[in-house]
Amino acid sequence: MDIGIIAMRYAKALMEYGENTNTTQKLYTEVIILSKNINSCKRLRQVLDNPILSIREKYSLICVAAVGSLDVSHEFSRFITLVLKNHREFYLQYICMSFLNLYRKKEHIGIGRLVTAVPIDAMTKNRIQQSAGMVLNVKMEIDNEVDDSIDGGFIFDYEGYRLDASVLAQLKRIKQQFIEKNRRIV
């Protein structure tokens, strides 16, 4: 069976279960944290694929990856138990991504990426989030990255579109203009 088909089936089941129990927002929060941890920690994926570990050990590992020391919701717990009993832990990363896409589409949530030269404070991030959300007619979630190589300004990415207002990009444009002007003179 195809990975995408399996992941989408489980994601749709989780979405439907969350809608029936009115816990989709809580599930979304838990799944987004789990997804970030699975994507950032290669070792976690390797451990989940290990057939020697018991279901109980994998369950506790997934719960810690989703909420840390807090208790997971009953719905999330039941879902993870289902995934583990059916030996679908290999697909958990894809299930998370599919669920997040379904939820974001349903709730009209856009994901943007903001790259700045220095860290920004929460107030500035909220203003950018609200402004971008109003322009794009979605609720915005922004992932902020710091990259000092852009020298200043910012780069904003959203669904394949890029607004590059970095100092580095402006200097490259000026350099290109000088090169073009010098070609015409000679």
Same domain, 36 and 76: yes
Same domain, 7 and 86: yes
What is the model's pLDDT at position 146? Answer: 92
Same domain, 72 and 116: no
Residue 168: strand pairing partners:
none
Same domain, 97 and 114: no
Q: How far apart are CA 43 and CA 90, in angstroms?
A: 13
| Residue 26 confidence class, pLDDT cut points 50, 70, 90 | very high
166, 155 contact by CB (below 8 A): yes
Residue 48 has pLDDT above 70, yes or no: yes
Same domain, 137 and 98: no
Same domain, 72 and 8: yes
Residue 90 has pLDDT above 60, yes or no: yes
Average pLDDT over residues 20-26: 93
Q: Which of 105, 128, 162 is the last residue of a domain?
A: 105
What is the model's pLDDT at position 71? Answer: 83
What is the model's pLDDT at position 10? Answer: 93
Average pLDDT over residues 40-69: 87
Average pLDDT over residues 113-118: 91
* Domain harbouring 28, CATH code: 1.10.520.20
What's the total number of domains in the chain? Answer: 2
Q: Which of 50, 78, 105 is the last residue of a domain?
A: 105
Enclosing domain of residue 89: 3-105
Same domain, 10 and 95: yes
What is the model's pLDDT at position 185? Answer: 67
What is the model's pLDDT at position 186? Answer: 58
What is the model's pLDDT at position 50? Answer: 85
For the chain, give the percent of residues with pLDDT over 70. 98
Same domain, 73 and 133: no
The model's pLDDT over 126-182, given as tens digits with 9 standing for 90+, comes to 998 898 888 888 899 888 899 988 888 889 998 888 888 888 888 888 989 888 888
Residue 11 has pLDDT above 90, yes or no: yes
79, 16 contact by CB (below 8 A): no
Residue 1 has pLDDT above 60, yes or no: no
Residue 73 has pLDDT above 70, yes or no: yes
Q: Which of 105, 123, 149 is the last residue of a domain?
A: 105
What is the model's pLDDT at position 137? Answer: 87
| Residue 81 confidence class, pLDDT cut points 50, 70, 90 | very high
Q: How far apart are CA 13 and CA 163, in angstroms?
A: 37
